Structure 1
Amino acid sequence: MEIGIIGSGPIGRTLAGHLMALGNHVSIANSRGPASLAGVATETGATAATVEQASRARDVVIIAIPEKAVPQLPLGFLVATSAVVVDTGNYYPSRDGRISEIDGGLAESAWVARVLGRPVVKAFNNIVAPSLATRAVQAGSPGRICLAVAGDEIPAKEIILRLIDAIGFDAIDAGTLAESWRQQPGAPAYCRDLGTEGLKAALADANPALIDTYRAQADEVARPYFA
C-alpha cells in the first residue's frame, strides 16, 4: 500500500519501520520539513516528505502528532483524500492546552474528525512506543499484544485491523468513534500490554462517569515529560 505518516515521534517513526518491512511504500513527514528527517529515512527506509505530500498517500494516512497541532494540518488535502485516515493521538491538557469540545465530552478522535471534516479511525494509541517497537510477533504466538481500533466506517476499520495483524499484533474492533473514549489516556485499556481477552475486558471496564478523572490522572503522570 501507499501510506503517509504525519509525525516523526516514537509512534510515527516506529510505524514507518514496521510498514516498510511489510513492503509498503511509506512517506513520513513532520512540521520541520524533509531535511530534518534524514536520520529517520535512513533508519526506517521511508521517504522523507512534506506534510502535504504525506497527506496525498493513496491508501492510508496516519496522523501521529499532538492534538494541539491537528488544526495546523493541510485540511484541504485530508478532506479530499479517499485514503483511510488514522488518528493515533491522545489529549493531554498540560501539553495541548484546553480543548473545550473534548473537555465537554467529545471523544478525542471525534474531535479530530470534526476538525479535519472527514471520518477517521482511532488506532495505535493504547500502546506505548517501546512495546510497539519491540513486541510484534507472528499470529498465534503466546503473549501477543492486542490493539483497539475504533471508528464509524467498517471497511476502513477492517483495513487497519488487517494492517495491525500484519505488523505483528492482534487487533479488535472497539466500536464507534464515540466509544473511543474507552481507549483514551487513563482508561483501563490505555498503555497496557494486554492480550485480546484482557483488552476486551479493560475496554468494558471503562466507566463513562470517570472520563474526567482518567484524563486528570493521566495528565498528571505525563506532565513531567512535557515540561
Structure 2
Amino acid sequence: MKITVIGAGAIGGNLAAKLALAGHDVQVAGARGPEAVAAEVLESGARAADLADSVQGRDVIVLAVPFGVAGKLADLFAPVPDETVVVDTSNYYPNLSGQIEAVDDGAVESVWNAEQLGRPVVKAWNAALAETQRAKGVPAGTPGRLAIPVAGDSEEARRVAMRLVDDTGFDPYDAGVLADSWRQQPNSPAYCTELTLEELPAALAAADRVKDVAVRDSLPERFAALPDNPTVDDVVEMNRAAHR
C-alpha cells in the first residue's frame, strides 16, 4: 500500500519504519520538514516528504500528531479522495493538549478529531505505548502476541487498518464503530496495558468513562511514584494496577 505517516516522533517513526519493513511504500512528513525525520526511520526504506505534497495519491494516511492538531490539517486534507483511509493515533491529555471543552464534556476523542479534520477516521495504535510498539511486535501466530484495538465506522477502513496493525507485529481487534472508541481512550483498562487478543475484549467491556478519566488525570501522581528511569514494564504494571 501507499502510506503516508504525518508526524515523525516516537509513534510516527515507529509506524513508518515497521510499515516500510513490511513492504509498504511509506512517506513520512511533519511540520518541521523532511530534515527532521530520524535516520533510523529512513534506514527502513521510508522516505521523508514535504507535508504539502505528502497526502496525494496515497491509500492510507496515518496521523501521528498530538491531539488537537487535526483541525489545523483540514485544508491539507480537503482534496484527499474519500476512499483514502485516515488513521488517528492520538490521545487527549489536557495537561499536554490544553483543555478542550467539547471532549471534557463527553465528546469521543476521535469523533471530535474527525469533525475537526472534516472526514472520517479510524482509531488505531493509540492504546499501546511507543516502546511497546517499537520493541514488542512479533510475527502472527507467536504465542502471547499483544493485541491493538481498531475502531471506525467503515468496515472496509477498519479492515485496512487491521491489516496494517498486523503488519506492525500485533494482533488487530475489531473494536466496532468510532463512537465506541472511548473504550480504548486514556486511561481505560485496555489502554497501554499490553493485552493479548483473548484478554482485550474483557478490558474494553470493563471501560468506565468516569473512572477512566479520573485514572488518566491521576497519571502525574502515579508516574511520580515509579522508580527513577522506569521501564516500559513498570509503566504497563502501573496502568494495570489502576484497574484492580
| Superposition TM-score, scaled by structure 1 size | 0.91
Residues 38-88 of structure 1: CA distance to partner in whole angstroms, max 9, x if unpaired?
Answer: 625533321111222222252100000111322222534256333100000
Q: Which residue in the other structure is 1:131 paired with? A: 132
Q: Which residue in the other structure is 1:33 paired with? A: 33
Q: Which residue in the other structure is 1:58 paired with? A: 58
**Secondary structure of 1:85 counterpart:** strand
Distance 1:151 1:55 in 2: 20
More helix by share: 1
List alignment gaps of at least 5 residues for structure 2: 225-244
Q: Which residue in the other structure is 1:20 paired with? A: 20
Structure 1 residues 94, 59: CA separation in 2 closer, same or farther (over 3 Å shift)? same
Distance 2:6 2:38 in 1: 15
List alignment gaps of at least 5 residues for structure 1: none
Supply the RMSD in Å over aligned alpha carbons. Answer: 1.9
Residues 102-147 of structure 1: CA distance to partner in whole angstroms, max 9, x if unpaired?
Answer: 1111111001100011100000000011111111112111110000
AA aligned opposite 1:46: A
| Superposition TM-score, scaled by structure 2 size | 0.85
AA aligned opposite 1:45: G
Distance 1:9 1:126 in 2: 16
Structure 1 residues 199, 208: CA separation in 2 closer, same or farther (over 3 Å shift)? same
**Secondary structure of 2:102 counterpart:** helix
Structure 1 residues 219, 66: CA separation in 2 closer, same or farther (over 3 Å shift)? farther
Q: How many residues align?
A: 223
Structure 1 residues 89, 99: CA separation in 2 closer, same or farther (over 3 Å shift)? same
Distance 1:147 1:193 in 2: 9
1:6–1:64 contact (8 Å) kept in structure 2 = yes
Q: Does 1:147 align with 2:148?
A: yes
Q: Matched residues, percent identical?
A: 44
Q: Which residue in the other structure is 1:208 paired with? A: 209
